[in-house]
Amino acid sequence: MLVVEEGDTVEIVLKNADSVTHGLSIHAANTQTSKFLGNVQPGEERVFRFTADFPGVFMYHCAPGGHGIMAHTMGGQHGMIVVEPKKKYRLEAELKRPPDLKLYIVQSEWYASGRDFFDGKATYVVFNGYNFRYVNEPIPVRPGDYVRIYFLNAGPSLTSTFHVVGGVWEYIYYQGNPDNLMKGSQTVLAGPSDSWVIEWRVPPVEGDYTLVTHVFNTAIKGAVGILRAKKDAPRIGEVRAEGPKALASVPADAKRVLDPYGLGTPDHEHTVRVPLDPTLVQPVAVGSKALEPLPVRVQMVGNSFYPKILEIPVGTTVEFVNEDVFDLLDGERTGRHDAVVIDVKGPEPFVTPKLGHGERYRITFTKPGEYVYICSIHPYMKGVIRVYAPVDQEAGGPEPEHHH
Amino acid sequence: MLVVEEGDTVEIVLKNADSVTHGLSIHAANTQTSKFLGNVQPGEERVFRFTADFPGVFMYHCAPGGHGIMAHTMGGQHGMIVVEPKKKYRLEAELKRPPDLKLYIVQSEWYASGRDFFDGKATYVVFNGYNFRYVNEPIPVRPGDYVRIYFLNAGPSLTSTFHVVGGVWEYIYYQGNPDNLMKGSQTVLAGPSDSWVIEWRVPPVEGDYTLVTHVFNTAIKGAVGILRAKKDAPRIGEVRAEGPKALASVPADAKRVLDPYGLGTPDHEHTVRVPLDPTLVQPVAVGSKALEPLPVRVQMVGNSFYPKILEIPVGTTVEFVNEDVFDLLDGERTGRHDAVVIDVKGPEPFVTPKLGHGERYRITFTKPGEYVYICSIHPYMKGVIRVYAPVDQEAGGPEPEHHH
Amino acid sequence: MLVVEEGDTVEIVLKNADSVTHGLSIHAANTQTSKFLGNVQPGEERVFRFTADFPGVFMYHCAPGGHGIMAHTMGGQHGMIVVEPKKKYRLEAELKRPPDLKLYIVQSEWYASGRDFFDGKATYVVFNGYNFRYVNEPIPVRPGDYVRIYFLNAGPSLTSTFHVVGGVWEYIYYQGNPDNLMKGSQTVLAGPSDSWVIEWRVPPVEGDYTLVTHVFNTAIKGAVGILRAKKDAPRIGEVRAEGPKALASVPADAKRVLDPYGLGTPDHEHTVRVPLDPTLVQPVAVGSKALEPLPVRVQMVGNSFYPKILEIPVGTTVEFVNEDVFDLLDGERTGRHDAVVIDVKGPEPFVTPKLGHGERYRITFTKPGEYVYICSIHPYMKGVIRVYAPVDQEAGGPEPEHHH
Ligand SMILES: [Cu+2]
Ligand SMILES: [Cu+2]
Ligand SMILES: [Cu+2]
């Protein structure tokens, strides 16, 4: 999160410390950014200057270019930059004092897979990075406090109607521009990358005022928080829109791990098992024509494979199909994909051609075993195909496990 | 539906006549409500007073607390409260007379299951409670009539763009506040809990003016109505946003009954039958490892089970997994769930532990028969598991039915 | 696309050159349209006049009436009509000159089936008709150019937040009305049929400014374009919102063909194969009751069948169920449907009754072969059922194909 003042010259130093290409789009900058902050290679550093001419609440997010812009933002690479206006917001002008609390809130969504992202099925919807973050740690306020909220819906895809239970927003400003004033609102409506500044005075009664998106099928997934009003509450001055710190490792007791590009929690939600199709064993026909075998599809979608884990009987044909639409450009910036086995301990290698949108490639799996594969263009895309076969009963069933 | 005037002191008497906990959130009240109207026990009565300081069109809805707020609102417990402003709306000021028709419209969604609610898949989207209500009963107006519409999108989840076929809205006011004026609009955009006041004069031509949300995949599910303009139409003065009265019993010829928490129409849409998995019968393996049995999942989601009716072969393992995220608090206010057999005529009882978000519990069903179960925390959540087995052919097939 | 001036009398000549009923809804016309432009029969011609009283950016779309309005708009029958205001937009007044570029952009969605339309799962989301149209053909501008964008979200169902990478919109006008002015916005929020006029000056730096909807799960499906700023770029004056011309025939190398009402690409995405249900072969029971056969459902939804291609073993019962809700009126205007075999070479004819919302009809298929069927009310609705059977091994497998 960044806060600057209207008219400031802002210098951004962007260093790519990762192993894949990234970039940066800064919505507060009214100047060319693709040229200066796009397609930043691993290890590369760029410096960029702009003048913060427009006051308000803006989004920034990763922007390697092309297809990668959406795919990286979906992964959570986004934040808020506030340009404080020279002109005073109205309630500050009326009260002749700054807010008691500046509350910076970024709403965003977490997805379990690129397929879920395409379909708008968020697993979690959060304020400042965590599920129910401010339910677990309520924000202290005092009755009568003047609160200014800087609200940004970072999306990437869903709409929000931000509301407080037990209150009516006094003044609201679309995009945070002090000239875009409206009054007396139960909600502010924000699509992805929309923002509002909200001014409100905590009513004179102690208790819990609940912040929530009134899009209730997303609130129920985590976008709820509490302002806890008490007369002797500590004055904290501000709550910053900082998200979760990246974990060094996943806790052993994690109930669910979202890894949209990779496998995530091995909890079967993204595992598909194909039973032996009787129509593949016994010849069947439609009238005088043999029934064409129906391949099992693995989609490339939103920089991930779907299903992530596929279990098939030996002899099954798998059709890889690229559902990503933007197949121009290259590297992180393209939605082209392939599938390449990486596990040298697997039964045998396979590799598909690089597929553009809507292109397909079929592989028939004749050797049982586990195939672990990635996309060579986006190597964090990971999938597993397990090919199973009847156990040779005379040999006494499967052997004891030799490796994990 | 309630109409009060700006500055009024409003007294609300809330009586819980149901057998589960409820509550109330009133968006027009700029004061603490959770404390006074949350977690109201069965049989309990509460009195609450507030001053209607903010003019406009507001939502109210059930709010027992926590997870229950979203789950009860999804079930249809919501309505509209209008605070008439002291300041005149512009068209009234220009015409120097009140509207010929005050039209109060609440748009809302009906869901068949908590799973559909999570996924935003409404079965019906309606104006004032019914599918195509005002197509079946067109609203009479006269050419030239001055109409004021109080429009609330109660959601719980979808966005609306409210429009009239054959008209351009003359003046629109976000949230119904007379200071939030805009002009000449084909639509008003409203997320859940957003509202507008709209002023419009029926054009001088007789005919049908169709009210519709221009979000066409929701209009097609029922959010359409007709203003029928005739020179000699009766003057009805107002159309109130009253929803359907609760039915004493379901009509015998009902084509579809939505019961998001329970079973609804036994029309197979929410029935899943698992065929005997050949991989469970014949030992199969991935290389040297036996293929792990894939459990059949029953989700707890949006205070309902999914699938609602599950049919499995004897010997199948069912994994109950709680997808509800808000697992704090207790009773109606929590998204914690369990599954407990209630049908004493069933083959044998089962009970799961109380599960928090993402927690799982497995049961292997070894006795054929029908298991009817509920959640002991939310006893209106109902599910059925049918365990089937091959018929003993020598015994002559299944016996005649002994009980319904 | 049409451009007229505020106050103009506009005459529309609507000629239905198709073989099914159509109609027209013009959002710029504040007068009765259903009566004059609804339910236009094949070959019929209508003339309609209105005065363009309200300035702004408006949608028009097919409107045969009732259910047909949504179903035809989903198929892509929509466009933009601009009413240029008498009052100057603010930036034009400030700069005392007209824009260097008038950019008319219609965002819309393409669906592969009525089922996908119901579920909001667009296959493509586009600007002016094509995927990534202005990525493939960037729009030339010069640094410093004054650009006015007329933006319409034609939907039919999804929300947009229109944004430019590398810019902040200087002035924005909801619905294009010059009085609905707001300032300094990173995005404009538009539900279906919402529109904006946007004024912006290209920053003084050359490079690619990317137009995008910031609803990223739709941008990733095609709603991206490029303004390419070069000092010596040609001055093209305007980019009109014309969509794709209808193709005389589908290119042989098309990777995907969307035909929401009919079959589309025979690429298996909408093919469902039902394996022989063992529970139908071997008698099974739940306790003392035989397990009821679970029919295979074909939905009628959004004027299409789903699944489009269904493959079933001989002896399967198919339940046709009408999910379309609006079953009033008749012909194109109704959501009533039936299923009628049209292929005289098929094994035998079948026909269902005309089904209203939620109504069902079952057919058991006892003769193998391919059944091609349509809806007799909407004859462009097309489905296929393939009934397969074990091959008579003694007869030597399926015979050679006799007909395509
Ligand atoms: Cu990145
Ligand atoms: Cu309740
Ligand atoms: Cu049409």
Rounded Cα–Cα distance for residues C220 and A326 (Å): 7
What would the DSSP string read from start to end of B81-143? EEEE-SSPPHHHHHHTS--SEEEEEEEEEE-S-HHHHHTT--SEEEETTBTTHHHHSPEEE-T
Q: Which residues in chain B are contacts of C54 at CB distance < 8 A?
A: 168, 184
Q: How confident is the model at residue B400 (pLDDT cuts 50, 70, 90)?
A: very low
The mean per-residue pLDDT over the stretch B51-79 comes to 96
Mean pLDDT value across residues A231-244: 93
Contacts across the B-C interface (CB distance below 8 Å): 210
**CA A285/CA B127 separation, integer angstroms:** 50
Beta bridge partners of B197: B150, B173
Cα of A201 vs centre of ligand 2, distance in Å, is 29
pLDDT at A248 over 80: no
Looking up tokens 């939804």 gives C301
**Of C169, C193, C197, C196, residue with least CA distance to C183:** C169
* Angstrom distance (rounded) from CA C26 to CA C28: 5
Please answer whether residues A219 and B215 qualify as being in contact, where contact means their C-beta atoms are separated by less than 8 angstroms: no
Compare CB distances from B220 to C191, C279, C302 and report the shortest one's residue.
C302
**pLDDT digits 0-9 by tens, A32-59:** 998 999 999 999 999 999 999 999 999 9
Band (pLDDT 50/70/90 cuts) for residue A6 is: very high
Residues C182 and A176: their CA atoms lie apart, in Å, by 11
* pLDDT confidence bin for A397, thresholds 50/70/90: very low
For residue range C50-66, what is the model confidence (pLDDT) as tens digits? 999 999 999 999 999 99
pLDDT of residue A150: 98
DSSP B209: E
Q: Is the pLDDT of residue C396 over 60?
A: no
- pLDDT (tens digit per residue) in B226-281: 999 999 999 999 999 987 777 778 888 888 889 999 998 766 577 888 887 665 56
Q: Taking a contact as any Cβ pair under 8 Å apart, which residues of chain A between 53 and 112 contact chain B?
A: none
pLDDT category of residue C395 using cuts at 50, 70 and 90: low
Instruction: Calculate the average pLDDT of chain A.
Output: 92
One-letter identity of residue A252? A
The answer to whether the CB atoms of B326 and A224 lie below 8 A apart is yes
C71-100 pLDDT, tens digit per residue, is: 999 999 999 999 999 999 999 999 999 999
User: Residue B390 — pLDDT band, cuts 50, 70, 90?
Assistant: confident
Report yes or no: C167 at the A interface, CB cutoff 8 Å. yes
For residue B399, the model assigns a pLDDT of 46
Taking only the tens place, the pLDDT of each residue in B188-228 is 999 999 999 999 999 999 999 999 999 999 999 999 999 99
Integer-rounded Cα Rg, in Å, for chain A is 26
Closest Cα partner for B255 from B271, B272, B269? B269
Tell me how long chain A is: 404
Do the Cβ atoms of B201 and B166 come closer than 8 Å?
no
Q: What's the pLDDT score for residue C402?
A: 42
Distant-in-sequence, close-in-space partners of C132: CB < 8 Å, separation ≥ 6 = A325, A326, A328, C222, C224, C225
Question: Which ligand lies nearest the alpha carbon of A24?
Answer: 1
CA nearest to A385 within chain B: B286
Report the alpha-carbon distance of residue C42 to residue C64 in Å, rounded: 11
Mind listing the pLDDT tens digit for each residue in B299-329? 999 999 999 999 999 999 999 999 999 999 9
CB of B297 less than 8 A from some CB of C: no
Question: Predicted confidence band at C367 (pLDDT cuts at 50, 70, 90)?
Answer: very high
Q: Residue B41: nearest ligand to its CA? A: 2
Neighbours of chain A (3+ CB pairs under 8 A): B, C
Q: Which of A255, A273, A370 sits opposite B357 (nearest CB)?
A: A255
* C-alpha span between C258 and C265 (Å, rounded): 7
pLDDT of A15 over the 80 cut:
yes
| Average pLDDT estimate for C287-315 | 91
Query: What is d(CA C227, CA C169) in angstroms, rounded to the nearest whole number?
Result: 14
Residue B389 has which token pair? 């087995």
3-state secondary structure of C118: helix
Q: Please give the span between the terminal C-alpha atoms of chain B, in angstroms, as a whole number.
A: 42
Which residue does chain B place closest to A276, by CA atoms? B278
pLDDT band at A299 (very low <50, low <70, confident <90, very high): very high
What is the percent of chain A where pLDDT is above 90? Answer: 82
Whether A168 contacts chain B with CB within 8 A: yes
Place A268 in a pLDDT band, splitting at 50, 70 and 90.
low
The pLDDT confidence band at residue A244, using thresholds 50, 70 and 90, is confident
Residues 6+ positions from A263 with CB-CB distance below 8 Å? A270, A308, A309, A382, A383, A384
Query: In whole angstroms, what is the distance from residue B94 CA to residue A259 CA?
Result: 59
pLDDT greater than 80 at residue A331: yes
CB contacts of A357 in chain C (<8 Å) are 255
d(CA A16, CA A126): 26
The domains of chain B, with CATH numbers, are: 1-86 (2.60.40.420), 87-243 (2.60.40.420), 271-395 (2.60.40.420)
> Given a cut of 80, is residue B32 above it in pLDDT?
yes
pLDDT given for residue C251 in this prediction: 82
Q: What is the pLDDT of residue C79?
A: 97
Is-contact A112 A75, C-beta < 8 A? no
**Whole-number Cα distances in Å, B360 to A256, B336, B375:** 11, 12, 15
Best CA proximity match to C256, nearest among A317, A357, A353: A357
Please give the residue of chain B at the shortest CA–CA distance from C65: B210
Separation of CA A21 and ligand 1 centre (Å): 6
Confidence of residue B404 (pLDDT cuts 50, 70, 90): very low
Sequence-separated (6 or more) residues with CB below 8 Å from residue A5: A52, A83, A84, A86
Q: CB distance from C165 to chain A under 8 Å?
A: yes
Largest Cα–Cα distance of chain A, in whole Å?
Answer: 88
- Contact status of C132 with chain A (Cβ, < 8 Å): yes
Evaluate if residue A218 carries a pLDDT over 50.
Answer: yes
The residue assigned the tokens 């509207």 is B99
- pLDDT computed for residue A400 by the predictor: 43
Q: Residue B345: its pLDDT value, please?
A: 82
Higher pLDDT, B284 or B335: B335
The C-alpha R_g of chain B, in whole angstroms, comes to 26
3-class secondary-structure state, position C57? strand
Residue that the structure tokens 């739940």 belong to:
C286
Take residue A356 and report the two structure tokens written for it.
Answer: 């553009």
Is residue A191 helix, strand or coil? coil
User: Does the structure show a pLDDT above 80 at A3?
Assistant: yes
The pLDDT of residue C212 is 98
Q: Which ligand is nearest to the CA of C18?
A: 3
**A29 alpha carbon – ligand 1 mean position (Å):** 19
Mean pLDDT value across residues C283-300: 87
Q: State whether C193 and B214 contact (CB < 8 Å).
A: yes
pLDDT band at A372 (very low <50, low <70, confident <90, very high): very high
Establish if B120 touches chain C: CB-CB under 8 angstroms. Answer: yes
Question: Is A245 a residue whose pLDDT tops 80?
Answer: no
How many residues appear in chain C? 404
Determine the residue type at C314: V
Residues, CB-to-ion distance under 5 Å, ligand 2: B 22, 62, 72
Chain B residues with CB-CB distance to A202 below 8 A: none
> For residue A2, how far is its CA from the centre of ligand 1 (angstroms)?
19
Mean pLDDT of chain B: 92
In the predicted model, what is the mean pLDDT of chain C? 92
Q: Does A157 touch chain C (CB under 8 A)?
A: yes
Report the pLDDT value the prediction gives residue A278, as an integer from 0 to 100.
60
Question: Which of A295, A292, A279 is CA-nearest to residue A385?
Answer: A295
Q: Which tokens is C394 given? A: 């003694």
Residue C348 to residue C314: CA distance in whole angstroms: 13
Give the CA count within 13 Å in the CB-facing half-sphere of B267: 21
Interface contact flag, A294 C271, Cβ < 8 Å: yes
Residues of chain C contacting B189 with CB distance shorter than 8 Å: 189-191, 194
> In this structure, are residues A163 and A214 in contact, taking their beta carbons and an 8 Å threshold?
yes
Interchain CB contact of C398 with B (< 8 Å): no
Residue with more model confidence, B269 or A304 = A304
Which three-class secondary structure string do you get for B369-395?
EEEEEECCCCCCCEEEEEEEEECCHHH
* CB nearest B159 (choices: C67, C177, C191): C191
Q: Could you read off the pLDDT of C14-34 as tens digits, one per residue?
A: 999 999 999 999 999 999 998
User: What CA–CA distance (Å, rounded) separates C313 from B323?
Assistant: 36
